[in-house]
Amino acid sequence: MNDSLTLQPEHAGSQAVTLDDIAARCGVGRTTVHRALHGAPEVNEQTATRIIAVAAEMGYDPALHDMARRMAKRRFGKTELTGVVGFYFPMHLYALNYFHRLFTGIMEAVVEEHYELLIIPDADKMDSLSPSATRGNVDAIITLSSPWVFQQTLLKLRATPGFGTRPVVSLFNPMPGCAQVRCDDFAGGKASAGHLLDLGHRHLLHFHRSRLDENNQVSVQRVEGYLSAYRERGLDPGPLLHDADLRRVTRGDAIAEPLLAALRAHPEITAILTPNDLSAIGAWRTLRENGWRVPEDISIIGHDDTDPFLNDHQQNLLTSVSVPLEALGREVACLAIRMARERLATHEPIILPVSLSVRASTAPAPR
């Protein structure tokens, strides 16, 4: 089959160079050209060197040839790995340390597996489709997007012949038809609340996003962990565990208004469980500006352990749940690639452990 029948080069008026073209110029067979360009030992060194030089001189683009071969096989219901993984992620996370650590782990795994990564920012759109994905140019997709954002995208991807049943792996939140890699948020919530309860605190404040938490299993699991910590100590969380609505968890200053409102309504609160370190730092600054001392009056626990709150000696003061973000990134990339290579349709959820890093932002409850 002549590859140029299926693909045209970007340069107007020129025909894509094929293996047949190179074979005709070199006076050898097409198979010999293919073997030489792929370093096969069957072709002697002198012939291989000449073929490679001619291919370069003619402007042969192996990417076009590989794409043509994949398109031809697809016509007969066959697929071939492309060596590319797509990564959907929300744009509002891009500048955060949280994202950088996840991305580092993903990239390390992709490089080790000799794969490439296609970045697909979803910008919180419900219908963002990547042409590369719909044309069959990715073997699998990793998504960090929220289920309520990505679910419609996934349904549309599944309906395209170019993507179909290829694997999708979700980071953190479960989604129908997707594998999942997450950390143990239940254990993180239980450890953080348990630490405060063991210090004598009883009235704790946590934050949620009421519109989204129904679908956000990260938040659901953390709250279940808080409740479990109370119950294990023989305490009824009903009158003791308070909550406040936090609409923007990626902006530390967004916590100020709901925090102050909660403390005015419930002055008995002596400790705060925040959704991430940025929110914890924002809470600390808000408390300090309004006359509260941390941890003498109110203790604070962050989550993720990504953003330190430093003292004059550059020591991190913030107690936080440490999440192995680099390991999560590596795990999700390795799983996506393994599922693509082994043609796996499903996989059991992979759950990584977390730990509580106790520092100076928590102390015994005030008397």
Q: Locate the domains of the chain by residue range.
A: 3-75, 84-183+326-352, 185-323
> Tokens at residue 127, please?
């219908």
Give the number of other CB atoms < 10 A from CB of residue 315: 11
Alpha carbon of 17 to those of 11, 37, 40, 292: distances in Å? 12, 14, 21, 72
Mean pLDDT of the chain: 87
**Calpha distance 27→367 (Å, rounded):** 92
- Report the topology of domain 185-323: Rossmann fold (3.40.50)
pLDDT tens digits along 246-282: 876 666 688 999 999 999 999 999 999 999 999 999 9
User: Is the fold of 3-75 the same as that of 84-183+326-352?
Assistant: no
Which range has the worst mean pLDDT, 13-27, 79-93, 223-237, 280-294? 13-27
Assign domain 3-75 to its CATH superfamily.
Answer: lambda repressor-like DNA-binding domains (1.10.260.40)
Record: fold of 84-183+326-352: Rossmann fold (3.40.50)
pTM of the model: 0.79
Q: What backbone torsions phi and psi does residue 284 show, to the nearest 5 degrees?
A: -60, -45
